[in-house]
Amino acid sequence: HELRTPVTSIKGFSETLLDGAMHDTEMMQEFLTIIYNESDRIQNLIEDLLALSKLEGDNFRLVLHKINAKQLVESLTPALQYQAEQKEITFTTDIEDIEIKADKDRLSQVIINLVDNAINYTPEKGKVSLKISKDGKSVKIQVSDTGIGIPEEELPRIFERFYRIDKARSRSSGGTGLGLAIVKHIVEVHDGEIHIDSKVDQGTTITVCLPL
């Protein structure tokens, strides 16, 4: 279903253009924009499916390095800040100067996916924050938002593949429905834990704990 919908859309609008709509400049521009956006959705979905497949493979191995939390977040912030600004969302960070032993690419993916998810589910002019701190023998990564929140009965399903709280909103924002499933797998292969605390119409906080 996740692949069929954008493919059907691309095919339908392409056929309409070939049937004569291409001669209407305004309509052609609109349809080509839709086709581009739908192809972008397919690309994101395929990349996420490949990432999940790799994480679940028997031969998957982490490439562990000592990573400075501040430096890592500084490298990721410009893109995340830009995304937040598109919705007039205030994005803040509070990062302790600590070292984490982890797979740099995978840890980056965890942070990007969590912040991306928070921005997608937070209305305009809301707030999203990222905090990384030392907590005993663990490092705690927290992403909080003032978004739509998650009903309590849906919390157990939040890390399932393709599960969305607000299907229409998630699809319109380009979400694949795989972001949190990928995060959960990455956390688990690092021998870490992930927790979620949420209240409807108040916001959500996702906490990842990784061993130092």
Q: Is the pLDDT of residue 89 over 90?
A: yes
Q: How far apart are CA 69 and CA 40, in angstroms?
A: 31
Predicted local distance difference test score (pLDDT) of residue 6: 74
- Average pLDDT (74-82) is 91
- Average pLDDT (105-132) is 91
pLDDT digits (tens, 9 = 90+) for 40-56: 778 777 877 777 777 76
Of residues 194 and 64, more confidence is placed in 194
Q: Is the pLDDT of residue 59 over 50?
A: yes
Predicted local distance difference test score (pLDDT) of residue 169: 46
Q: How far apart are CA 183 and CA 185, in angstroms?
A: 5
Rounded-to-5 percentages of helix, strand, coil across the chain:
50, 25, 25
CB atoms within 10 A of CB 59: 5
Q: Is the pLDDT of residue 98 over 50?
A: yes
pTM: 0.74
* Percentage of residues in the chain having pLDDT higher than 90: 34
Predicted local distance difference test score (pLDDT) of residue 163: 66
- Average pLDDT (30-35) is 87
